[in-house]
C-alpha cells in the first residue's frame, strides 16, 4: 500500500515538473499569519484587554486567599502547643481541606481563563477566515495558506496578505 502512495506522489512530482510552467502562470498564492492577525486586529487587542482585566482580578483574589491561608496556618502553628491532639488534628484537617479547596479554585480559574482565551482567539480567527476567503475570491487567489513554521516554511513578503487582512477585518468593525 505504501509503495502505491509513493508512486502517486512521485508521479505528481514528475507531472508538476512537466506541466509546472503551465500551472505556475495560473497560480496565485497568498499566505496569512493568522496568529499575528488575531493578536494585532482591533478585536483581538480588545479581547486581550478584557482577559487581562479578568486575570488581574483573579490575581488579586488569589493573593487575598493566599494571605487568608497563611493567617490560618500561622494561627494553627501558634495554637498547636496549647491544643490537645484531637483538637490539633481537627484544625490541621480543616486547614488541609481549605488548602485543597484553594488549589481547586485556582486550577478551575486557570482552566476557565484558558477556555476564554481559546474561545476569543477562535472567534476572532473565524471572523478573519471570512475576510481571507473574501480577499481570496475577489482577487483570484488559487490558494491562501496559513503561514506558520509547520505548514509554510518560507514565503516571500510579496505574497503575505496578513496586513491587508487585518485592515479589512478592522474596517468591518467600524
Give percent above pLDDT 70 in the chain: 85
pTM of the entire structure? 0.70
| β partners of residue 32 | 146
Rounded CA-CA distance 87/100 in Å is: 20
- Does 7 or 152 have the greater pLDDT score? 152
The answer to whether 165 and 44 have CB atoms below 8 angstroms apart is: no
- Does 118 or 151 have the greater pLDDT score? 118
Burial 118-151 (b: 16+ CB within 10 A, else e): eebbeebbebbbebbeebbeeeebeebeebeeee
At 69-95, the pLDDT tens digits run: 999 889 888 887 788 888 888 889 999
Average pLDDT of the residues in 98-113: 95
Q: Is the pLDDT of residue 65 over 50?
A: yes
Q: Is the pLDDT of residue 168 over 70?
A: yes
What does the mean pLDDT of the chain come to?
A: 85
Q: Is the pLDDT of residue 24 over 60?
A: no
Length of the chain: 174
Amino acid at each position: 500500500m505504501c509503495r502505491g502512495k509513493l508512486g502517486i506522489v512521485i508521479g505528481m512530482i514528475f507531472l508538476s515538473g512537466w506541466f509546472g510552467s503551465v500551472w505556475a502562470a495560473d497560480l496565485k498564492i497568498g499566505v496569512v499569519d493568522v496568529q499575528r492577525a488575531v493578536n494585532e486586529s482591533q478585536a483581538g487587542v480588545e479581547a486581550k484587554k478584557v482577559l487581562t482585566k479578568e486575570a488581574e482580578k483573579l490575581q488579586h483574589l488569589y493573593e487575598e486567599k493566599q494571605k487568608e491561608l497563611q493567617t490560618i496556618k500561622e494561627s494553627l502553628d501558634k495554637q498547636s502547643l496549647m491544643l490537645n491532639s484531637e483538637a490539633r488534628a481537627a484544625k490541621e484537617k480543616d486547614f488541609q481541606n481549605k488548602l485543597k479547596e484553594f488549589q481547586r479554585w485556582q486550577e478551575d480559574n486557570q482552566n476557565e481563563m484558558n477556555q476564554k482565551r481559546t474561545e476569543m482567539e477562535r472567534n476572532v480567527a473565524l471572523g478573519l477566515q471570512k475576510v481571507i476567503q473574501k480577499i481570496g475570491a475577489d482577487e483570484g487567489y488559487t490558494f491562501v495558506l496559513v503561514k506558520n513554521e509547520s505548514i509554510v516554511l518560507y514565503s516571500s513578503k510579496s505574497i503575505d496578505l496578513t496586513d491587508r487582512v487585518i485592515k479589512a477585518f478592522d474596517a468591518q468593525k467600524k
